[in-house]
Amino acid sequence: MSLAAVASPHFPPSWAYQIRMAASQGQFLHAISLFLQMRASVAPRSSVPASLPAALKSCAGLGLCTLAASLHALAIRSGSFADRFTANALLNLCIKLPGFHHPFGTNGPSGEGGLESAAYESMRKVFDEMLERDAVSWNTLILGCAEHKRHQEALSMVREMWRDGFMPDTFTLSTVLPIFAECADIKRGMVVHGYAIKNGFDNDVFVGSSLIDMYANCTQMDYSMKVFDSFSDCDAVLWNSMLAGYAQNGSVEEALGIFRRMLQAGVRPVPVTFSSLIPAFGNLSLLRLGKQLHAYLIRARFNDNIFISSSLIDMYCKCGNVDIARRVFNGIQSPDIVSWTAMIMGYALHGPTTEAFVLFERMELGNVKPNHITFLAVLTACSHAGLVDNGWKYFNSMSNQYGFVPSLEHCAALADTLGRAGDLDEAYNFISEMKIKPTSSVWSTLLRACRVHKNTVLAEEVAKKIFELEPKSMGSHVILSNMYSASGRWNEAAQLRKSMRIKGMKKEPACSWIEVKNKLHVFIAHDKSHPWYDRIIDALNVYSEQMIRQGYVPNMEDVLQDIEEEQKREVLCGHSEKLAIVFGIISTPPGTTIRVMKNLRVCVDCHIATKFISKIVAREIVVRDVNRFHRFKDGNCSCGDFW
């Protein structure tokens, strides 16, 4: 019912009614304006408690911490604090506004974690002081516990809610199911599912969506599909949950199938529909499918959505085409921090890294404040280019200029920068003196640098620290074992490999893949099962002869086995990325760009060989390894031989 329908010159609507109507329609600024006008007028005192819940809701919607604290104080002074509806609004405020944690605006603990802790304590205090509670009160508290990652407490509150005489409802289930999804606890999730069926809650869209998400996180997509199929009329929420479930489980074809069915059912996609589909193409480097989806987005006029544009930038960068990513970025009228960061990270991973620094400075000049992820992107650029001075500059500006506390990821990026540049002692001292305790992943950056610079002595010391923190760190065991082999210390290498076997550790096999004619072809090192294997080896031998005539010398250091020279050459020919690259060349038309993905780091010999091959066949070859992208063209690589 509209305001005009109930208002007349003789019976004007009350202040409280107007404020409640404005807040319920999402007109938060108007609701606050009306509330302040009411306070300045001679309105009846009863108008304050009647309108406070709507005013508090509006503060939460607008993020007005200071005004919210004033309203909290007003609630206490006026006695409205005891009102159930006002208290429920205050509970909601504590969840929505981490900066709100005291009725009189007293500063709480500094830092993001401190604010969240203070907000949680305020929420508990409001709840504990409530004279009367209802299901909304309990559900709001449970939601607050869940959002503050206090999962066990949230589940305990569900039991307390039951004891207090309130039956868990659809809102309760939609809150606790994501907890079981996050920890992949399918057993307790199925118990909740049974409760939902028994009480008729399983036909609720949001409960159904939460069940689909829970089963998907537990990698049980068959169960997700059963929940989905139980709905006779699925809305966009359910379709999006199914699509996201398949995408996050790497089932891209199934996700596309759901997307097609969604369109056939006449359900219009929304921006969140593509939030999982676009990254799935990027994570698997499916450029062809990504381009097709981009074309659909343009036809459906979704390309003006900045969230979707940012996702496309990230996808194209991960698919190895930073040029198209830049065109998408240039098409954004007012890039936000997500767009800037995605493009900066793209250049950090692809090169030229100088473009990452140029974009960062442009972003600052445009008064867009960098966040933690932006700094991680620009530090990654410093790392991949070995720019120590730049690395220190950006690292220090985080705290000095922007007030950020560097995280473990930022420290690891700077340590990687120092290590790649050969400043191993400085990197060691930096990690040792970190204010937060370094993890095994931070020390691993230095171990990789020791491998590059062949410092076995320091590598042994660093490896000890890693093994203390993570005794079964596969990557670290492999790196140290390979370093022993490379330096001819075969006994130490054998002992370390024996130790790995005793611990039940298995080395991840090198694997590369390439998409050709809509089909994904996977190559494992020295695996002869591919139907084109003989043709690949014949072509590789031809290219090898041409490479040798042009000055190529096989890098025998990459063969970490005590065998003869001729056998070492055969081992090098069987590396997975070489097989994938040559297959791409002989199975695609001349001039086609070759795009290969690898699960491990590209070895030195394959890197050298690919530079020669790119010149011989006059092709651009893009290889995405575990660390970065390599764009080979005319005998050169975009990494500048620094990786």
- Work out the pLDDT band at 99, boundaries 50, 70, 90: low
Residues 458 and 590 in one domain: no
Query: Is 238 a domain residue?
Result: no
Co-location of 540 and 601 in the same domain = yes
Q: Specify whether 520 is located in the same domain as 601.
A: yes
Cβ-in-10-Å burial (0-12, 13-18, 19+) of 122 comes to buried
Q: What is the CATH number of the domain that holds 497?
A: 1.25.40
> Once rounded to an integer, what is the mean pLDDT over residues 434-461?
94
In this predicted structure, the answer to whether residue 11 has a pLDDT above a threshold of 50 is no
Asked which of 124, 146, 167 is the last residue of a domain, the reply is 167
- pLDDT for 570 equals 53
pLDDT > 50? residue 5: no
Q: Is residue 74 part of a domain?
A: yes
Whole-number pLDDT of residue 573: 62
Give tens-digit pLDDT for 466-518.
Answer: 999 999 888 899 899 989 988 889 899 999 989 998 888 887 788 999 989 87
Task: List the one residue out of 299, 379, 310, 296 whose CA is nearest residue 339.
Answer: 310
Lateral strand order in the sheet of 511-516: 519-524, 511-516, 594-598, 621-624, 629-633, 636-637
What's the rounded mean pLDDT across residues 67-75?
82
Q: What is residue 288's predicted lDDT score, i.e. its pLDDT?
A: 84
Is the predicted pLDDT of residue 320 greater than 90, yes or no? no
**Domain stop point among 104, 137, 167:** 167
Same domain, 43 and 77: yes
Min mean pLDDT across 53-62, 153-162, 435-444 is at 53-62
**φ and ψ at residue 633, rounded to 5 degrees:** -155, 130
In a domain, 563, yes or no: yes
Q: For residue 629, how many other CB atoms are within 10 A of its CB?
A: 27
Question: Does residue 301 lie in a domain region?
Answer: no
pLDDT of res. 632: 95
In three-state secondary structure terms, 597 is strand
Residues 581 and 451 in one domain: no
**Residues 121 and 51 grouped into a single domain:** yes
Domain-terminating residue out of 479, 502, 525: 502
Backbone angles phi, psi at 166, to 5 degrees: -110, 125
Within a domain: 197: no
Cα separation of 420 and 451, whole Å? 10
* Same domain, yes or no: 35 and 129: yes
Query: Confidence band (pLDDT; 50, 70, 90) for 589?
Result: very high
* In a shared domain, residues 483 and 552: no
Distance of CA 307 to the CA centre of its chain: 14
Helix axes 337-350, 372-385, angle to 10 degrees: 20
pLDDT band at 12 (very low <50, low <70, confident <90, very high): very low
Q: Beta strand pairing status for 511-516 and 629-633? A: unpaired
Please write down the long-range contacts of 562-566, taking CB distance under 8 Å and 24 or more positions apart.
562/485, 562/490
Domain assignment of residue 89, given as a range = 13-167
Residues 573 and 439 in one domain: no
| Residues 281-320 as b or e (16 or more Cβ within 10 Å = b) | bbbbbbbebbbebbeebeeeebbeeebbbbbbbbbbbbbb
pLDDT at 593 over 60: yes
Share of the chain above pLDDT 70, in %: 90
- C-alpha atoms less than 13 angstroms from C-alpha of 368 in its C-beta half-sphere: 16
Looking at 355-369, 536-550, 563-577, which range is the least confident one?
563-577
Residue whose pair of structure tokens reads 């992949």 in the numeric block: 184
Mean pLDDT of 2-7: 42
- Whether 570 is covered by a domain: the verdict is yes
pLDDT score recorded for residue 286: 79
Report the sign of the C-alpha dihedral through residues 382, 386, 389, 395, in that order.
Answer: positive
Q: What is the pLDDT of residue 80?
A: 72
DSSP 484-548: HHHTT-HHHHHHHHHHHHHTT--PPPPEEEEEETTEEEEEETT---STTHHHHHHHHHHHHHHHH
- Residues 554 and 617 both lie in one domain: yes
Cα–Cα distance between 378 and 355 in angstroms, integer? 10
* Count: domains in the chain: 3
Q: What is the DSSP string of 243-284?
A: HHHHHHTT-HHHHHHHHHHHHHTTPPP-GGGHHHHHHHHHHT
Give residues with Cβ within 8 angstroms of 337, minimum separation 6: 363, 368, 369, 370, 371, 374
